[in-house]
Structure 1
Amino acid sequence: MTAYTVHELDVPTTMDDDPEKVRAFREWLAVTDAAEVDVHGLTELSWKPEEYLPMCHEPGAPSRLFVVRADGGTVVAAGSYDTKQAPGTPNCWIALGVLPEHQRHGIGSLLADHLERIAREDGRTQWKTYAVSRQVGPASGHGYLAARTGFGAVPADEAGARFLTARGWRFGQVNRISRLGLPADHSVVRELHDRAAVRAGPDYRVHAWVGRTPEEWLDGLALLETRMSTDAPDGDMAEPEDVWTADRLREHEEELARAPRTMLTVAVEHVPSTTLAGFTQLAVPDGPERAVMQWDTLVLKEHRGHRLGWLLKVVGIERVEQDFPGRPSIITFNAEENRPMLDVNEAVGFVGVGSEGIWERRT
């Protein structure tokens, strides 16, 4: 009988680090990607090691990575344990994936037991995980597991759903994965831009930059990052406020700058107060064959109702095509209950291609 053992990786600092560390990290990422692609089939969501590694060294939130090896050393599963290091933080994020050909041998349970034990010993009382799904768009009825938000569902027969349910995790929310093929329809984008600008009026002004945030907007963007933890849709799975400072934001940007990609930020200023009311960020890989990933997008609650989300979205598309021509697509994730953002996605041409279930366990 094959024996399986869990091993924690010594995560390399850079891709030029010790070759054995780098090889193990490459194996971890290959297994992680393979397990997800087997579910949703979206190869555009796969990471290059050089892109992913800097995110493992997020200031104040380093990742711990794990693999399961079979006899002979073959990696058959991969997992991660992520936390914020601020004192008193109660939450953590757990992830795992098993290669399709090695499923149903108790490997997932072995790794989950290990990661959950770490969470308990670490005193974490709110655990979250993200499980990708083949489901495209909203669904309900027999054969589906509905999210507690009342928006969206995933097939109940998916291995991830069955596995998490059996372990006592609760299914809380669905993120729709949407794809916009590029080039976009410029006439549609321009019309939406004009309509959104009229609705926003003279009280709002758009700014855009690549790379490091200009000094004048550093505090404002830090506030927006903080409000991502309180203003973004999260159903009944609210997390503690995650405070960002200008120093933390600079460290974050410096770490991400090590990856072969450029961060494009679009922000909207509330002119009367000279403060930022919303932003979106798009990670543009250096390789022109790679998809652009839309990261955080937020309009502060007190500024909603002015079509600012629409304005941010369309300006982001325009800037990608202007500054980074030839990219194949933009990929974005949005909560199924976030109808305002889904409306603009659909209007501009985004098409649902999959989904991601967000699960929670409290101890």
Structure 2
Amino acid sequence: MTGLEITEVVIPDSVDAPNAADFISCIDVRSAVWAHDSGTRDEVRPPEEMLPGWRKQEFEPKRMLLARDNGRPVARGIAEHRLGDAADTAWLAVEVVPDARGRGIGRALAERVEALARQARATKFIVYASCWRVGGPRLAAPTGFGDVAADTPETRLLQSLGYRLEQVERGSWLPLPVDEASLEAMRAQARDAAGGEYRIHTWTDATPPEWREDIAHLLTRMSTDAPSAGLEESEDPWTVERLLADEALEAENPSTALVAAVEHVPSGRLAGFTELLAPDDLTRPVDQEDTIVVREHRGHRLGMLLKLANIAHLQRVRPGHPRIVTYNAEENRHMLSVNEAIGFAPFVYEGAWRKDVRA
């Protein structure tokens, strides 16, 4: 394609570094894509928030490509990997600015990120693609839960490249603030259901030393306990060393992490946790990050108790944000029921696609 140049981006140490221009251009591409496709700026992120995640290369290797059309940044591609048993999987993404679509740039970039995944010896490629179109022909997930538009450029491209739809995720949002009386009434019901064997703890940003081992264990369980349908995602092990390295980088993020964890009092171990990430800008929404209750402690409404505790935590220490945004697998009926009871409503669906290649 005449005028198209694709180069790999060097991840800078800071957004002010001399070599940060390409990274910032990639984040600008991401912002343009999300703002156009969603019709809102809810998912727009400044470079300084995105950079800490990209500097997590030791345990989560990732590479980014920038596509220029006659010198103008128009698209970015991502290839992300894991280590150990999860090294067979690569998570890929391609984003093209609206006025550069339909010219083969997305396909060219997709082929390049697949090449990066092959270099890493991945044999399973996973792509998450948002579907904003409603109505029209639909493509159902094989799980029997959810569907995406069957006739969009994204769907056609993924199918032409050999990907198959495996799972649909629901994006939901909760308007803030939640009425304090309603919040406390729901919390009381959840506490009664949980009984006296569980205790809630909350903190901001770094994990307290006494809970580091448990949080590392719960993060490992996130990769095996969450519904993954036909994606068959492998265990992604976390250690205290990895947790500390992750938190050291996240300390550079100008957002605030708020955590609620539930302790099983008889054992003194954590049975689950949930995390919210609140940007400094109060006009922007809060992101719901990981939530997990391990299988052996389910059935006590701990997921509800955790979510409500952290919403109360948020409204106490970071009031003023307009809403919380969360994503859940459409077949994860238990967590969706929790969200719906609290007041979350769907606003977008996302397809999880898989492609298998030879080693």
TM-score by length of 1: 0.94
1:314-349 Cα shifts (integer Å, max 9, x gaps): 111111000101111111111111111111211211
Post-superposition shift, 1:112? Answer: 0.8
Post-superposition shift, 1:16? Answer: 2.4
Instruction: Give, in whole Å, the separation in 2 of the partners of 1:34 and 1:16.
Output: 21
1:241-299 Cα shifts (integer Å, max 9, x gaps): 11101111011011111010111111101111111111101111112222110100011
Instruction: Give, in whole Å, the separation in 2 of the partners of 1:306 and 1:135.
Output: 37
Post-superposition shift, 1:2? Answer: 3.9
Instruction: Give, in whole Å, the separation in 2 of the partners of 1:87 and 1:129.
Output: 19
Which residue number corresponds to residue 43 of structure 2?
A: 45
Aligned length: 356
Amino acid at match of 1:75: P
Post-superposition shift, 1:355? Answer: 1.8
TM-score by length of 2: 0.95
SS at match of 1:236: helix
Determine if contact 1:36/1:132 at 8 Å carries over to the other structure: no
Which residue number corresponds to residue 121 of structure 2?
A: 123
CA RMSD of aligned residues (A): 1.6
Which residue number corresponds to residue 54 of structure 1?
A: 52
SS at match of 2:229: coil
1:134-167 Cα shifts (integer Å, max 9, x gaps): 157xx8xx71011121111011122211111111
Which residue number corresponds to residue 198 of structure 2?
A: 204
Structure 1 range deviating more: 241-250 or 120-129: 120-129
Instruction: Give, in whole Å, the separation in 1 of the partners of 2:162 and 2:225.
Output: 28
Instruction: Give, in whole Å, the separation in 2 of the partners of 1:155 and 1:40.
Output: 15
SS at match of 1:191: helix
Matched, 1:17 2:17: yes
Which residue number corresponds to residue 273 of structure 2?
A: 279
Distance 1:14 1:86, change over 3 A: farther
Determine if contact 1:32/1:96 at 8 Å carries over to the other structure: no
Instruction: Give, in whole Å, the separation in 2 of the partners of 1:242 and 1:331.
Output: 24
Question: 1:319-358, aligned counterparts within 5 Å?
Answer: 319-358=313-352
Which runs of 5 or more residues in structure 1 are unaligned?
Answer: none
Distance 1:194 1:88, change over 3 A: closer
Which residue number corresponds to residue 30 of structure 2?
A: 32
SS at match of 1:60: coil
Which runs of 5 or more residues in structure 2 are unaligned?
Answer: none
Structure 1 range deviating more: 107-116 or 178-187: 178-187
Instruction: Give, in whole Å, the separation in 2 of the partners of 1:210 and 1:321.
Output: 13
Which residue number corresponds to residue 312 of structure 1?
A: 306
Which residue number corresponds to residue 183 of structure 1?
A: 177
Post-superposition shift, 1:187? Answer: 2.5
SS at match of 1:325: coil
Percent of aligned pairs with the same amino acid: 41
Which residue number corresponds to residue 223 of structure 2?
A: 229
Which residue number corresponds to residue 238 of structure 2?
A: 244
Among 152, 155, 159, the alignment partner of 1:165 is 159
Among 244, 247, 258, the alignment partner of 1:253 is 247
Determine if contact 1:60/1:86 at 8 Å carries over to the other structure: no
Instruction: Give, in whole Å, the separation in 1 of the partners of 2:319 and 2:86.
Output: 45
Determine if contact 1:40/1:133 at 8 Å carries over to the other structure: no
Instruction: Give, in whole Å, the separation in 2 of the partners of 1:86 and 1:344.
Output: 34
Structure 1 range deviating more: 83-92 or 96-105: 83-92
Distance 1:346 1:88, change over 3 A: closer
Instruction: Give, in whole Å, the separation in 1 of the partners of 2:37 and 2:104.
Output: 19
SS at match of 1:45: coil
Instruction: Give, in whole Å, the separation in 2 of the partners of 1:248 and 1:222.
Output: 8
Amino acid at match of 2:287: M
Post-superposition shift, 1:87? Answer: 7.5
Post-superposition shift, 1:237? Answer: 1.1
Determine if contact 2:85/2:236 at 8 Å carries over to the other structure: no
Instruction: Give, in whole Å, the separation in 2 of the partners of 1:143 and 1:286.
Output: 40
SS at match of 1:33: helix
Instruction: Give, in whole Å, the separation in 2 of the partners of 1:272 and 1:43.
Output: 45
